[in-house]
Amino acid sequence: MNIRSSTFSARLKPAGAAVTLLGLLLAGCNSPKPPVFDFTRLNADGSVYRGTGDYAKQPWACVRDNQTTLVWEVKTAKPGLRYEKSTYTWYNPDENTNGGDAGKRDGGSCTSGRCDTESYKSAVNAKRLCGFSDWRLPQRMEVATIIDGSIFYPGPTIEIKYFPNTPAGSYWAETPFGSHESGAWTWRFDYGYDYVAQKIEPLHVRLVRGTANIKK
């Protein structure tokens, strides 16, 4: 059973205040103010993308958030390591950081390697995506910084012109749920809210790297 969060978070920036579910209900038909994003596309070697922005013809591999300084992976439309439709179970064998439950190895559906979060992270780091080898699962509130709360169901609640090939499904965060050892935080990109899912569930992953500069 999923345990839904009491928080409905949008971008954690002064220009994009958090949007609560209650606020949306009270707003009725009025759309919430879109958050302000500042993104830069990156090529697979880490250089700044100079293309047209047409992913199908001139793809890019990563996106740098110039506000938080985080760099996010971009998914691919064709089967492979970063295939958009791949899913993974949450798995972290480190007893110091897994919240008391390692999760499940190889329980997802993917087209390359073992289908769990630990294996996927290792595979992307081995490829040195965009010149980096420190890719990881994002923390719960890091994911909030790329959520566009002004986009309504069915989403995806993200800047699709920067993050193409984004299914409007659920995406794992690295953050375990404190009082529920077998659960970890997840973000839904169809509604744009976070909740707790069982670690054995096969969900999507979007890796990140860097140290966040998040203003609350």
pLDDT at residue number 16: 32
pLDDT at site 69: 97
Q: What is the pLDDT of residue 28?
A: 43
The Cα 87–Cα 210 span in angstroms is: 23
Cα separations in angstroms, 140 against 143, 144, 147: 6, 7, 11
For residue 4, the SS3 value is strand
Predicted confidence band of residue 138 (pLDDT cuts 50, 70, 90): very high
Q: How confident is the model at residue 215 (pLDDT cuts 50, 70, 90)?
A: low
Q: Which residue reads 């990563």 in tokens?
A: 62
The confidence band for 213, taking pLDDT boundaries of 50, 70 and 90, is confident
Is pLDDT at 197 greater than 70 in this prediction? yes
19-59 pLDDT tens trace: 334 333 334 445 567 789 999 999 999 999 999 999 999 99
Mean pLDDT (the chain, rounded): 87
